[in-house]
Amino acid sequence: MSQASSRFTDPFDVARHPNLEPEVKRAILASWASDAAAVPDQPALRRPADVERPVPVDDVLAALRALDDGALPRTRH
């Protein structure tokens, strides 16, 4: 899975990817949301393996919710 997740920098890019199965998208996003990816002393940020910059956990959870609701925005913000 790290190969699949390494090409993404934003959780909504994962959720919107047209060639990934929903289960794969959820697995990638769940790994990003995991406490194992937490940035030390910054609990609101996650730094998944192979991802260049930390991402807010709120963004990861929002992407998961949007994926589950089928309400993915075309672009973020």
* pLDDT band per the 50, 70, 90 thresholds, residue 25: very high
In sequence order, the 6+-apart residues with CB closer than 8 A to the CB of 49 are: 2, 5, 6, 37
Spatial strand order of the sheet with 42-46 comes to 38-39, 42-46, 55-56
Task: State the pTM of this model.
Answer: 0.82
* pLDDT band per the 50, 70, 90 thresholds, residue 24: very high
How far from 34 is each of 3, 16, 18, 73, CA to CA, in Å? 18, 20, 24, 23
Cα–Cα distance, 66 to 33 (Å, whole number): 15
